Chains A and B, each alone.
Chain A
């Protein structure tokens, strides 16, 4: 009886190990991207060789993607996790990584693809203190709103894919070059289109837009949030309305994941135009890809300025 039990336990252990054993990567490279823009870039570069799952659908706050247990099995089997970095995903990714029990994608491992590598951050705080709200110690993480910096992210993804599956290098290279050529053409188009945005002042709900403003020559004046992650006080709202009036700031940007009430009030009382802008693909209808998202942003702002 005892011998039978030992045999059964041994068989169960072998079965468990067999079930849990994972190949380095199956027919396709399994990629989990934290945000939809990174998922799109990975699909563009990886082509048919990647199976990409995005934790965000596009309508979430980049810092507030829900930690769903249904993400865990996908992360457990992933060959790569592609993230924005600069602590953008601090609210959900560390816990998901721990729960995934996947040593391939832990921080520092080849499967941990931090797309911020090579990007010079803006708005690096002088001190990491919560008196400044939910600051990002490494700088503003919303660099994907600058299409030129998105090229660096694409290159980081390309490097990771080549390192994971060198046998597909030629395909990845062809895909990357084709996509970057398309992106370059769009960047030239956006820069031409965005000529009226030069010097235009604007405010937004959260500090998403410093990289975009620098690229297209806009003047990013401030935020509706009192500090990152801290709701505005009535006094802050009043001060902001007065500032918008005094400086003739024409645009108030609302990101769709924030409530409309306060931005609409500010726009109404100051006479500025309220513009709803996505912060990643899928944030508003018709922006399923990164290029479509940037198209939407540039056109929306130009339309608002021309009003």
Chain B
């Protein structure tokens, strides 16, 4: 009985399980059918979209082809192209032209006019300019410069000015030199006529000075600008600190046309001259700088001048040898941020002259004598003298600056004869190439000079056209 019961239970269980399996299969089949339906729907949708996009693409392509086929835009493009081609060809042809001026040097012209008023005439001041109102075309300076070849550059400064005595125009070659650019060993050679490197301002042209007139000491001891015909060698010492050494030799040293506005005796060193300079520089702070140098000039054959200087007591001095030493410095404030609007400079140069003379107490060597010549009483003597100038210049805007120059010197033949001068000045620069400067100068001569003290006012107008480089020496 128990066995029958168990068997019945097992059969019932098996029937229930079979029925459940049949249901799962049905469910899976149904899911599969639904997925197939969905896939077909998506496929149809994608086909529709593809067809639609293809149709749109075809339409757009057709439209573009129609637009491309339409004449006006294509014609305009061609015209523009032709026009542009013509222009380019024109420019290209212009470039092919041979120009006679292609290798011309850079050219600049500097003009400088000085309006002046002096309280005393030239007979009383020792200057060449007359007393009273005076207008003087001090210089018209033509600057030309270009590379000579890969190894050198050449430059010339031709100066035209009014002759101080006659007022007639005179033309002179102030500088015409060749300067090497590729010597080994940090060397640079300059040959020709040039302003030799001595001191601070002797080799600066008049219009580049920070005041109107060249300092008296430079006129007295080297005749103004340091012009020479010769050769000069510069060496940049190959160390991390800036040290520059210059040495030169020339047939004279000093300007050929001294500044007649000054009361110095304008004594260029004639004959063979040797000179040298050592200069260095220190950044005290990023804005404050100090530059200093020492210079020397030796003129061993001064008798080439052929001059016999007749003294007030009728004795004569014949200059035999000249030695000149100088020390200079420039202390300057050049703020990094706005140095075009603010700056300050204090420059000073002290010169020490030692002149050797043949002294003739009885004046027998005076050329005015009927038979000048040595008579045995001559002896050799020397005269030492000092001179200096010191100036300050303060700039407070791009256009305005003002300063003060002090001059003091002893006569190179008689150190008891002293001259001093002071000159306040103010500068107005309309632009970098056009500036006006007003300066007042009071000059004191001592009684033994035979000259009289005087007052003068100068108005300097300087301008530049054409090429104008900021040279290293004018920094």
Interface residues of A (CB under 8 A from B): 16-17, 19-22, 57, 59-61, 64, 66-70, 72-74, 76, 91-92, 94-96, 98-101, 103, 106, 130, 133-134, 229-231, 256-259
Inter-chain contact total with CB atoms closer than 8 Å: 98
Interface check B431, CB cutoff 8 A: yes
Contacts of A70 in B (CB 8 A): 241-242, 281-283
Interface check B5, CB cutoff 8 A: no
**A69 touching B242, Cβ below 8 Å:** yes
**A68 touching B238, Cβ below 8 Å:** no
A92 to B336, CA, bound (A): 13
Chain B 149-206 interface residues, beta-carbon cutoff 8 Å to A: 181-188
* Dominant secondary structure at the B interface: loop
Known A20-B184, A67-B470; contact A231-B241, beta-carbon cutoff 8 A: no
Chain B 274-291 interface residues, beta-carbon cutoff 8 Å to A: 280-283, 286, 289, 291
**B281 touching A101, Cβ below 8 Å:** no
Contacts of B283 in A (CB 8 A): 68, 70
Chain B 343-379 interface residues, beta-carbon cutoff 8 Å to A: none
Contacts of A259 in B (CB 8 A): 338, 341
Q: Which of A68, A230, A258 has its CB near the most chain B CB atoms (within 10 A)?
A: A68
Name the contact of B238 in the complex, choosing from A20, A95, A96 (C-beta under 8 A).
A20
**A73 touching B398, Cβ below 8 Å:** no
Contacts of B183 in A (CB 8 A): 101
State the interface size on chain B (CB cutoff 8 A): 42
**B188 touching A68, Cβ below 8 Å:** no
Name the contact of B339 in the complex, choosing from A64, A133, A229, A256 (C-beta under 8 A).
A64
Contacts of B281 in A (CB 8 A): 68-70
**Smallest CB gap from A65: residue in B:** B336
Interface residues of B (CB under 8 A from A): 181-188, 235-236, 238-242, 244, 280-283, 286, 289, 291, 334, 336-341, 397-399, 431-433, 465, 469-472, 475
**B336 touching A66, Cβ below 8 Å:** yes
**B432 touching A229, Cβ below 8 Å:** yes
**Smallest CB gap from A22: residue in B:** B238
Known A91-B470, A231-B399; contact A258-B338, beta-carbon cutoff 8 A: yes
Contacts of A20 in B (CB 8 A): 184-186, 238
**Smallest CB gap from B289: residue in A:** A68
12 extra interface residue pairs, beta carbon distance < 8 Å, beyond A59-B336, A69-B244, A70-B283: A16-B185, A20-B184, A61-B340, A66-B336, A66-B339, A67-B475, A69-B281, A72-B242, A95-B470, A106-B182, A231-B399, A258-B338
* Dominant secondary structure at the A interface: loop
B154 to chain A, nearest CB (A): 14
Contacts of A60 in B (CB 8 A): 336-337, 339
Contacts of B186 in A (CB 8 A): 20, 76, 101
**B472 touching A67, Cβ below 8 Å:** yes
**A92 touching B470, Cβ below 8 Å:** yes
**Smallest CB gap from A229: residue in B:** B432
A229 to B430, CA, bound (A): 11
Contacts of B472 in A (CB 8 A): 67, 95-96, 98-99
Known A68-B289, A69-B291; contact A130-B431, beta-carbon cutoff 8 A: yes
**A103 touching B471, Cβ below 8 Å:** no
Contacts of B471 in A (CB 8 A): 95
Name the contact of A94 in the complex, choosing from B182, B187, B339, B469 (C-beta under 8 A).
B469
**A73 touching B242, Cβ below 8 Å:** yes
Contacts of A59 in B (CB 8 A): 336-337
Contacts of B184 in A (CB 8 A): 17, 20
Contacts of A92 in B (CB 8 A): 470
A22 to B341, CA, bound (A): 39
**A17 touching B470, Cβ below 8 Å:** no
